[in-house]
Structure 1
Amino acid sequence: MKEMISDDLQLAQLGHAQSFERQFSKWSMLGLAFAILNSWAALAAGLSFALPSGGPTTVLWGLVTAGICNLSLAASLAEFLSAYPTAGGQYHWVAVISPPSLKRGLSWVTGWINLSGWVALVATNGVIESQLILYITQLLHPNYEPQRWHQFLIYIAVTMIAFLINAFGSRLLPHINSFALAWSIAGFIIISVVLLATAAPDYATASYVFTNFTNSTGWPDGLAWLLGLLQGGLGLTGFDAVAHMIEEIPHASIEGPKIMVYCQYIGIFTGFIFLIVLLFVSGGEVNAETIISSPLGPLLQIFYIATSSKVGAICLLIFPLICFVMAGNSVLTTSSRMTFAFARDGGLPLSRLWWKVHPTLGVPLNALLLNVVIVVLFGCIFLGSSVAFNAITAASVVALGVSYGIPIAVNLAQMRRKLPERAFALPEWLGWTVNIIGLVYTILTTVLFLFPPFLPVTGSTMNYCVVAFGIILLISVIQWFTDGRKNYEGPRVTIGTGEHE
């Protein structure tokens, strides 16, 4: 009981009353964090990014590079989380450590970028789930030609499933997230063993798996390899979910930072092993072009090659499919809490409407509904143009990365002296090292992920991520001048307002 009171008092010191029950254990919160990363499944689903941009060397060693850099980012943000365990996350941290003249503006922009990244990530999970379902249909029925509206309907269905679970099954969320962690690890082990058994002895050579380089992008080899880092970025991003859910876990300032770092360790380890397995059972260079261009997607095509069975390949794909369903649920949970927190501090239009916890359900129902409406609107864009929708999903990775980099940059600019005493504190030399690595990686990937993936550039191969990210910034600036400049002061004290005491 003493530690529970300590959590509430620490939140009170940050200006907020306890709004949610702290019902997540450290294991169920780790389950939520890893359900969002689902690194081995997400990395496998992102093979289409890396295979043309360097082949196996990008797939494996790109993951190692992205893993080191994302682990550096996670460790850097873990220090902030330990000092300020509030659901606001990055925008709150930026506000409390920035110089007074920059506090409001930097916090505002960070909040909008971070929130946009999370809402777009909800949509991204819906797209991946709908794509996997269509891949299964195409494998079973080779003459089937998927229409864009088919995927749209599946996308809406999986989004509504996530909403219903979040709205009406909030007390089940810790159990669902614990199951998600167990399911993901079991899927990783079962698929790896089955693939190695069924593909034997027709494995690719070790030379192909660890040293083969293939570049079909049209870019110079070095740049192509760097562009392939998008696979690792997609498979390891979203670890700030722990920050936005931190008000629902006991011992927040101690356990939260650990979970943020642990989910990266698990993701890098499982992802690296799983990608090695996939490359070995793929058959090597003779099947490389087939895998890259397959209408079934690289992952299902590799399953089919390894098992020589449609049923077997589909059964294996069920594991990552359910992983993504549970990830979609966890991402919506996190995005709604981020929406709630930013509205609580006055960062959104009609903030009082989104800053409400349903008295019976115990969840920010209005924030959940807002997220669902925006995600459905994203789906309507997809009906009109798949290129535009791909830009929105790619922007989620860029937006989250930028939101990680801003507080780190502000902290470095002030010689790492602005954070108070905290439970999770890195040694000074290590803190400087991981901060610099994380910031350089953020700057590099933010620029790279705006590049078109292939040359020559056409209307259908252009990377419109820069347009989507530009729209996010434009909306943020317009909202600042129409509302935020007058009403937003950064994190504010809400204790005593009568809203959520």
Structure 2
Amino acid sequence: MEEINIDDKQLAQLGHGQSFKRQFSRWTMLGLAFAILNSWTALASSLSLALPSGGPVGIIWGLVTAGVCNLSLAASLAEFLSAYPTAGGQYHWVAMIAPEPLKASLSWVTGWINMSGWIALVATNSSLASTLIINIISLVYPSYQFYRWHQFLIYLGITFIAFFINTFLHKLLPHINGFALVWSIVGFFILSITLLACAAPDYATGEYVFTHFINTTGWPDGIAWLLSLLQGGLGLTGFDAVAHMIEEIPNAAIEGPKIMLYCQYIGIGTGFLFLTVILFVSGGLKNATTIITSPAGPLLEIFYLATSNKTGAVCLLMFPLLCLVLAGTAVLTTSSRMVFAFARDGGLPASAIWWKIHPTLGVPLNAIYLNVAIVVIFGCIFLGSTVAFNAIVASSVVALGLSYGIPIALHVAYGRTRLPERAFSMPGWLGWTTNIIGLAYTIVTSVLFLFPPALPVTGTTMNYCIVAFAIIIVISLIQWIVDGRKNYRGPRITIGEQELQD
């Protein structure tokens, strides 16, 4: 009870009353955070991003590079989370340390970028899961004729599963996320052991796995390898979920930063080991072209090559597929809390609607509705153009990365002196090192991930991420001109307002 009182007091000092029950423990919150990262699953499911753009070198060493940089970002943001444990996360932190003349505008832009990144991540997760299901159909039925509306319906089904669990099974979320963590770790070991056993002794060489470079993009080798960082970035992003869920865990200022770092440690470790296994059992260079061009997708094709059995390959794919379905639930939970928090501080049109807590269900139901509605609209875009939809998917990584970089840039600009005393604080030399590494990574990848994935560039190979991101900024600016500059002042005091709304 003492811990809960401390949490309530700290949240009250930040201007907000307690809206949610603190029903998550350290381990169930770690389950939610890792369900979202699910690094080994996300990395394996997105092999198509790095195989043509660096091959094994891009996959393995790209992950190591992205891992060091994302761990630096996570450590940097963990200090903010310890100082200000509120669901607002990055936009709240920016408001706390930005210069007074820029406080509201920078907080506003950060909030919109972060919120857009999370909603796009919901769509990304449903897209990855639906792609795995389409891959299964393509492997089992080689004559299958793919139509985009097939995947659209699967995409909707996965999204609505997440909606149902978040709305009607809210009290079970800690248990579901705890199960997600166990399922992911168990699946990692079962898949690794099974694949190595089935593929023996026909393994790729160590030279292929760790030193072979493939570049079919048309870009110079250096640029191609840097573009392969998108795979590692996708597999390790989203660790700020802990921040947006921080009002639902006891002892938040201490446990939150630990969880943010733990999920990165697990993600980098399992991701590196599983990608190494995948490359060893792939058969090496002789199968590289087949894997890259397979209609079943690179991951399922490798499973099939390793097991020489379609049924076995599909059974193995059930582990990452269920991981992605469980991740969809966790991503929607987090995204709805981000919408709730930003609306609570007046950052959205008709904010009072979006931060209402349903009196019976105990969830921000309207915020969940808004998330699902936008994700369905994204799916309709997929019906018209996979290129445009892929831009939305890529923009989730860019948007989240920028939302990490803005508070860190301000922190560095002020010589790391703006944060108050906190439970988690790095030594000066380590803090400066992680801040600079994370900031450099954010700048480089935010530019590179806007590049077309291959040359020459055509209407269908163009990277429209810049367009998707520009739309986010334009909407944010219009809303700022219409409403924000008059009414938004950053995080506001809302204690007692929720009771008045109810």
Relative to the length of structure 1, the TM-score reads: 0.99
Partner of 1:186 in structure 2?
Answer: 186
Q: Quick one: distance in 1 between partners of 2:478 and 2:26?
A: 40
1:466 match: 466
1:19·1:500 contact (CA, 8 Å) conserved in 2? Answer: no
Deviation per CA, 1:204-254, whole angstroms, max 9, x where unpaired? 011100100111110001111000000000000000000000000000000
> Which stretches of structure 1, 4 residues or more, deviate above 3 A after TM superposition?
498-501
AA aligned to 1:468 is A
Task: Determine if the alignment matches structure 1 residue 104 to structure 2 residue 104.
Answer: yes
Using the alignment, how far apart are the partners of 1:154 and 1:223 within structure 2?
A: 35
CA offsets per residue over residues 281-339 of structure 1, 9 Å max, x none? 00000000110111111000000000000000000000000000000000000000000
Equivalence for 1:368 = 368
Report the Cα offset of residue 268 of structure 1: 0.3
2:422 maps to 1:422:
yes
Separation in 1, partners of 2:222, 2:396: 25
Say if 2:128 is the partner of 1:128: yes
Aligned position for 2:227 = 227
* Map of 1:304 onto structure 2: 304
Deviation at 1:46, TM superposition (A): 1.2
What CA distance in whole angstroms lies between the structure 1 residues aligned with 2:345 and 2:91?
Answer: 10
1:41-64 Cα shifts (integer Å, max 9, x gaps): 100111111111111011001100
Correspondence 1:209 to 2:209:
yes
Match of 1:157 in 2: 157
- Displacement, 1:3? 1.0
Corresponding letter in the other structure for 2:214? T
In structure 1, how many angstroms separate the alpha carbons of the residues matched to 2:146 and 2:424?
50
Equivalent residues in 2 for 1:84-99, closer than 5 Å: 84-99=84-99
Q: Counterpart in 2 of 1:492?
A: 492
Sequence identity (%): 74
1:248 to 2:237 alignment:
no
Structure 2 CA distance for partners of 1:152 and 1:2, relative to 1, 3 Å: same
Cα distance, 1:496 vs. partner? Answer: 3.2
Whole-angstrom distance in 1 between the partners of 2:309 and 2:496: 63
Could you tell me which residue of structure 1 aligns to residue 140 of structure 2? 140
Contact 1:127–1:155 (CA under 8 A) maintained in structure 2: yes
C-alpha contact (below 8 Å) 1:74/1:260 kept by paired residues: yes
Q: What does the per-residue CA deviation read over 1:249-294, in whole Å, with 9 as the maximum and x for residues that have no partner?
A: 0000000000000100000000000000000000000000110111
Q: Deviations over 1:173-207 (max 9, x none)?
A: 00000000000000100000000000000000111
Q: What per-residue deviation string (whole Å, max 9, x for no partner) do you get for residues 393-445 of structure 1?
A: 00000000000000000111111000000000000110000000000000000
Find the aligned partners of 1:92 and 1:332 in 2 and give their Cα distance. 20
CA distance in 2, matches of 1:479, 1:292: 43
> Structure 1: which 5+ residue stretches go unaligned?
none
Q: Which amino acid aligns with 2:496?
A: G
Aligned residue for 2:207, secondary structure, equals helix
Q: Secondary structure at the match of 1:359?
A: coil
Distance in 2 separating the partners of 1:248 and 1:441: 31
Using the TM superposition, give the Cα deviation of residue 138 of structure 1 relative to its aligned residue in structure 2, in angstroms.
1.1
SS in 1 for 2:296: coil
Provide closer, same or farther for how the CA distance between residues 102 and 289 of structure 1 changes in structure 2, counting only shifts above 3 A.
same
Distance in 1, matches of 2:494 and 2:214, equals 56
Contact 1:58–1:229, Cα closer than 8 Å, also in 2: yes
C-alpha deviation, 1:500, in angstroms? 7.3
1:355-409: CA deviation from partner (whole Å, max 9, x where unpaired): 1000110000000000000000001111110100000000000000000000000
Counterpart-to-counterpart distance in 2, 1:221 and 1:124: 28
Give the match for residue 64 of structure 1.
Answer: 64
- C-alpha separation in 2, matches of 1:220 and 1:499: 60
Tell me which residue corresponds to 1:447: 447
1:344/1:355 contact within 8 Å kept: yes
Cα distance, 1:487 vs structure 2: 1.0
The answer on 1:275 being equivalent to 2:275 is yes
Residue 451 of structure 1 and its aligned partner are, at CA, apart by 0.2
Look up the equivalent residue of 2:94 and give its one-letter code.
V
Q: SS state of the match for residue 24, structure 1?
A: coil
Alpha-carbon separation, structure 1, partners of 2:343 and 2:210: 48
Match of 2:476 in 1: 476
1:195 equivalenced with 2:195 (yes/no) = yes
CA distance in 2, matches of 1:375, 1:419: 36
Structure 2 letter corresponding to 1:346: G
SS in 2 for 1:349: coil
Distance 2:415 2:53 in 1: 37
CA contact (8 A) 1:17 1:500 kept: no
Residue 405 of structure 1: aligned partner:
405
1:25 aligns with 2:25: yes
One-letter code of the match for 2:223?
L
Is the deviation greater in 491-500 or in 191-200?
A: 491-500
CA distance in 2, matches of 1:414, 1:223: 33
Deviations, residues 31-78 of structure 1 (Å, cap 9, x unaligned): 000000000010011111111111101100110000000000000000
CA distance in 2, matches of 1:500, 1:44: 45
* DSSP-derived class of the 1:462 partner: coil
Query: Distance in 2 between the 1:454 and 1:58 partners?
Result: 15
Amino acid at match of 2:237: T
**3-state SS of 1:85 partner:** coil
Count of aligned positions: 501
Query: Amino acid of the residue matched to residue 32 of structure 2?
Result: L
Structure-1 separation of matches of 2:264 and 2:501: 34
Residue 258 of structure 2 corresponds to which residue in structure 1? Answer: 258
